[in-house]
Amino acid sequence: MIQRIQTLYLIAIVLSNAILLATHTPSFDSERMSFKSMSDFFKAAYYISPIVSTVLAAVTLFLFKKRAVQILLNKLHLVVLLVFFGTAFYELFPNPFLAFSIKTTALLVAFANLIWLHFAQRGIKKDEALVKSADRLR
């Protein structure tokens, strides 16, 4: 499992998301737990998507023998990252000229996760092609 390069990329995604979650914790009011407006929905998606991203990367990491499932989970992970980007830009839209804040740091981490996810996807596809070519030789 460790000898595959996509494993290292997935570990990097899990670690960066864990650091992001440790430093980027939401503060919820008990009275505002219901979605009264679309803004509340976007805030919830903004805080939930890194958690889902971490879980998806960890599950993908341990499914190293099922490459087709890994590819499918990586595509789902891509959608989660795009939702995070969309909600993060929505959160930054009222004042796009903010100083270097935790939200811009979260965007940078999500962008790095997107790049690592792409590299992991390429590695998984290369492994799948290698296995298929070896099966043809038998």
| Domain extent for 15 | 5-23+38-132
In a domain, 44, yes or no: yes
In a domain, 58, yes or no: yes
Task: Kindly report the pTM of this predicted structure.
Answer: 0.77
Task: Identify the pLDDT of residue 36.
Answer: 54
Place of tokens 């440790």: 22
Task: Going residue by residue through the chain, which has 138 residues, state the pLDDT in tens, using 9 for 90 and above.
Answer: 556 888 899 999 999 988 888 876 655 554 544 545 556 677 777 778 888 999 999 999 888 888 889 999 999 999 998 888 888 777 766 665 655 565 677 788 888 999 999 999 999 888 888 888 887 766
The total of structural domains in the chain comes to 1
In a domain, 119, yes or no: yes
Q: Phi and psi for 34 in degrees, rounded to 5?
A: -90, 155
Q: What is the CA radius of gyration of the chain?
A: 18
In a domain, 137, yes or no: no
Q: CB-based contacts of 40: which residues, under 8 Å, 6+ apart?
A: 32, 34
CA distances from 113 to 80, 107, 110, 132 (A): 11, 10, 5, 28
In a domain, 30, yes or no: no
The Cα–Cα gap between 65 and 69 comes to 9
CA distances from 128 to 92, 110, 125 (A): 40, 26, 5
In a domain, 29, yes or no: no
Task: Identify the pLDDT of residue 4.
Answer: 80
Task: Identify the pLDDT of residue 64.
Answer: 84
Angle between helices 102-137 and 38-62 (to 10 degrees): 40
Task: Identify the pLDDT of residue 128.
Answer: 86
In a domain, 32, yes or no: no
In a domain, 66, yes or no: yes
